[in-house]
Structure formats: C-alpha cells, structure tokens
Amino acid sequence: MKKYSSTKKERFAWALYDFANSAFPTVIVTAVYVIYFKNVVVGNELPGYSDKLWGIANSAGAALVFLMAPFLGAVADLSGKKRFFWVFFALMSIAATATLSLTGQGTVLLAMAAFIIALTGFEASTVFYNSFLPELVPPDKIDRLSGAGWALGYLGGLGCLAIVLPVAMDGTNIKLVALIVAAWFLLFSIPSFVSIKDRSEGTSAMAWTEGFNRLKNTVLEIKKHKNLVRFLTAYFFYNNAVVTIIVFAVAFSKDSLQFSTTENILLVLVMNIIAAPGAYFFGMFSEKMGSKKTIVITLVLWLFVVLGAELSAWPDLFSAADSKLVFWGVAVLASLGIGAIQSTSRTFVGQMAPTGRSAEFYGFMAFSGKGSAILGPLVFGLVSSCFASQRAAILSIGLFFLIGLILMIFVNQEREKDE
C-alpha cells in the first residue's frame, strides 16, 4: 500500500464527497422531507404517530448498516476494493433518494422503504469513504483533513438547501426536492469517484471468506482491543444523541415551538452556516489539543444544548416569542458542536486503526454508530408517542450525552496494535 501518498487534488476530491452527500442529511433527513413525510405522507391526526414512523424508518436503515458494516469493511480491506463498495452504496442511496419523488399522501410504505434504502446506502458508503482518510495523510494531519471535509459538507448541505428553498417554500412541487438532492449528490460525487483510487491490490483472493474469518477473529479477540472497545462504547451512547438531534431537530421546533416552514428552513440554513467554520475550527483545535480532549469538551457543550432545548419548550416559562429566541441560541451552540463531535470521532478512529485495517475499524465504528442510531431515534419517537410530548423525549438525549461523556474519560488516545 502506498502510505500517505496523495496530492492536493486527491485530498480535495476526497473532501468533495462530504460536499456531495451532505445534501441528503441536510435536506431529506433534517430540513424538508421530514416535514413532508409528517404532514403529507403520514398526516398528523394522532400526536406523536408520525414521529414514531420517522423514528422507525431511521432506525431500520441504521440497523442494516449495523449488521453488515464490519464484515464489508474487512472484505474491502482484504480485497483492495474499498472504492467499489463506496461507489456502489453511494449510487444505491442516490437512486432511492430519487424514488422519494414518487411519494405522496398515504404512500407510507413506499416512502419508508425508499428512505430506508437511501439511508442505508448513504451510511454504508461513508464507511468506505472514511477508510481512505488514514491513507491520504499521516496521523497528525488527519484532524485537519477530516475537519475540512465536514466543513465542506456543511457548505454542500447549505448550497443544496438554498437551491431547493423556492420549491420547498412554494409547497406545491415539494416532491421535486428529492430529485434535486439526488442530482446534487450524483454530480458532486463524480470527481471523488474518479480521483480516489484503491491504494492496495488486496491480500487475499478469497476476500469474502477471509473477511468473515478476520471479523470473527476480531470479535473473539476484541478484548485485545480494549481501547477500541472503550471508545466504541462511549461513541455508542453519545452518537445516540447526535443522530436523534439530526433526525428530530426540525420536527421538535415545528411541533413544540410552532416554527413555521419558513422559520425551520431558515433555522437549518443558519445552522449550516455556523457549523461549517465550527467543524474546521475544531479540526485545528483537535490537531493541537488532541482528539480525546476535543470530544470531551464538545460533549460538555452538548449537555448545555440539551438543557437549553428542554427549557425553551417548558410551558409558562417563556412566552411563545421568547421560547423561539431561546431555541435560536441553543441552535447556534448546537451548530458549533455537531460538526466537531462527528469530525473528531472520525479522526479518532483513523488514528487508532492499525495500518491496512482502516476499513475494518471504520466498519466497527459504523457498527457502534448505527447500533446507537437504531436506539436513539426509536427511543425519542416512542417516548414522544407514549407521552404525547417531545419535552420528555429530550431528556433521553441528555442522558445519552452524559453517559457518553463519562465513558469517554476512560479512553486513551493511542494506536491499536495489529494482533
């Protein structure tokens, strides 16, 4: 394998995939389609019911990645075909996203199925995309490149959202939004797919069999990777909260604070504008102070975000206008933290993975992350449905952050040995 051999063009092309794929979580998951799904596809006759279905759909997509990511990561490392898996799952996500344009009132099963496939492809593609990171730059430069990728991703989400804004505001052609997102995703992914090549020819002609055996051995000998286990456990809990916030932020502001569609779109725009420099800044901070310290600081920041969100929706504590104002402040703080926690977590795994096993370790990160992505949105949706109140569900997010913070304190920042 050519170690750390990359040009500026290749590194930019790698980061451009963040720019391309961020249209999906920004527009489909967070800002626009979630509201269309709740108001039109499902309808809001029963309080909390659309939250439950949206939570189930997000959890189902996460479950599929949860089950297959570590195995596919091991196969990709052994076969030297990480790029193939990356492109395959990205195209799967793009096609399913385009299919969402066919959904409308009452098409709940179609909408959920297409969304689950799109989410699965999106998340699985990032496993292989992330695994190129330790091959492009040395460990001490991963923080900066990862942060730059996340920053560019927020700009990409912002750019696509700006384009769909007139369509979303009009409301009559909302289904065109899915086609625009799919086109954006495909168009800006092409430079990445063309420029980034596999840096290993593979070490085994029986990659599928060997991949299973490697995965089995890693699972059986996981106790030898104690630091990885500590981190993945902490990541499991705090990622629960992060994913849930991404999935339900706009639904919360709409249902609990009565944000209009215009206010919600403006909210996402502002959050992306702030998140981009935030991710880059924390990438540089992490490079100087270390990934672990950055993650811990960011988790403390998130606890204040959750407290502010809970207070903003507390009855009789603020007027309607003041509640919105408080939530705007919370959103700004959250924007600084969301890119930081995701980018630095990605960096941490890249610095921890032994040479030649990055896809496998990122597969385990996806295994933990998607395991938490199953639980977080599902818990929020169920709590919201059972109590007919999103305020009760907010408390579950704070608990996940707190547990993750406590566990992260016991993680060491060191490279795992290749057993």
- Rounded Cα distance, 291 and 255, in Å: 36
Given this model, what pLDDT does residue 2 score? 46
Task: Report yes or no on 203 lying in a domain.
Answer: no
- Rounded Cα distance, 251 and 226, in Å: 38
CB atoms within 10 A of CB 330: 20
Contacts of 307 (CB under 8 A, 6+ apart): 398
Given this model, what pLDDT does residue 1 score? 43
Question: How would DSSP label each residue in 198-267?
Answer: -S---S-S-HHHHHHHHHHHHHHTGGGGHHHHHHHHHHHHHHHHHHHHHHHHHHHHHHHH---HHHHHHH
Look-up: residue for tokens 């098409």? 107
Q: Dihedral, CA atoms, 216, 219, 220, 223, nearest 10 degrees?
A: 160
Task: Report yes or no on 91 lying in a domain.
Answer: yes
Given this model, what pLDDT does residue 186 score? 97
Structure tokens at 49: 């019911």
Contacts of 316 (CB under 8 A, 6+ apart): none
Question: Of the given ranges (110-114, 127-131, 277-281), which has the lowest mean pLDDT?
Answer: 277-281
**Best CA proximity match to 243, nearest among 412, 402, 155, 370:** 370
Task: Report yes or no on 42 lying in a domain.
Answer: yes
Contacts of 7 (CB under 8 A, 6+ apart): none
Task: Report yes or no on 92 lying in a domain.
Answer: yes
Residue 10 DSSP one-character state: H
Task: Report yes or no on 40 lying in a domain.
Answer: yes
Task: Report yes or no on 63 lying in a domain.
Answer: yes
Going by pLDDT thresholds of 50, 70 and 90, the confidence category of residue 320 is: confident
Residues 398-406 have a mean pLDDT of 92
Look-up: residue for tokens 């705090």? 238
Question: Cβ distance 5 to 199 under 8 Å?
Answer: yes
- Rounded Cα distance, 163 and 124, in Å: 26
Residues 374-380 have a mean pLDDT of 76
Given this model, what pLDDT does residue 222 score? 60
The domain of 268 spans 8-194+214-408
Task: Report yes or no on 399 lying in a domain.
Answer: yes
Using the predicted structure, report yes or no on whether residue 306 has a pLDDT greater than 60.
yes
Given this model, what pLDDT does residue 360 score? 65
Going by pLDDT thresholds of 50, 70 and 90, the confidence category of residue 219 is: low
Half-sphere exposure of 95 (CA within 13 A, CB side): 8
Sign for the pseudo-dihedral over CA of 371, 375, 377, 378: positive
CB atoms within 10 A of CB 314: 11
Amino acid at 336: L
Task: Report yes or no on 199 lying in a domain.
Answer: no
Give the mean pLDDT of the chain.
81
Question: How would DSSP label each residue in 116-148?
Answer: HHHHHHHHHHHHHHHHTHHHHS-GGGHHHHHHH
Helical axes 142-170 vs 320-352, angle rounded to 10°: 140
Contacts of 120 (CB under 8 A, 6+ apart): 61, 64, 65, 89, 92, 93
Residue 100 DSSP one-character state: G
- Rounded Cα distance, 11 and 15, in Å: 6
pLDDT (tens digit per residue) in 331-344 = 888 888 877 887 78
Amino acid at 212: F
**pTM assigned to the model:** 0.71
Task: Identify the burial level of 109 via C-beta atoms within 10 angstroms of its C-beta, where 0-12 means exposed, 13-18 middle and 19 or more buried.
Answer: exposed
Q: For the domain that residue 288 is a member of, what is the CATH number?
A: 1.20.1250.20
Contacts of 137 (CB under 8 A, 6+ apart): 4, 6, 11, 144, 145
Number of domains in the chain: 1
Residue 413 DSSP one-character state: -
pLDDT (tens digit per residue) in 34-89 = 888 988 898 866 656 887 888 888 888 878 877 777 677 777 777 778 889 899 99
Percentage of residues in the chain having pLDDT higher than 90:
22
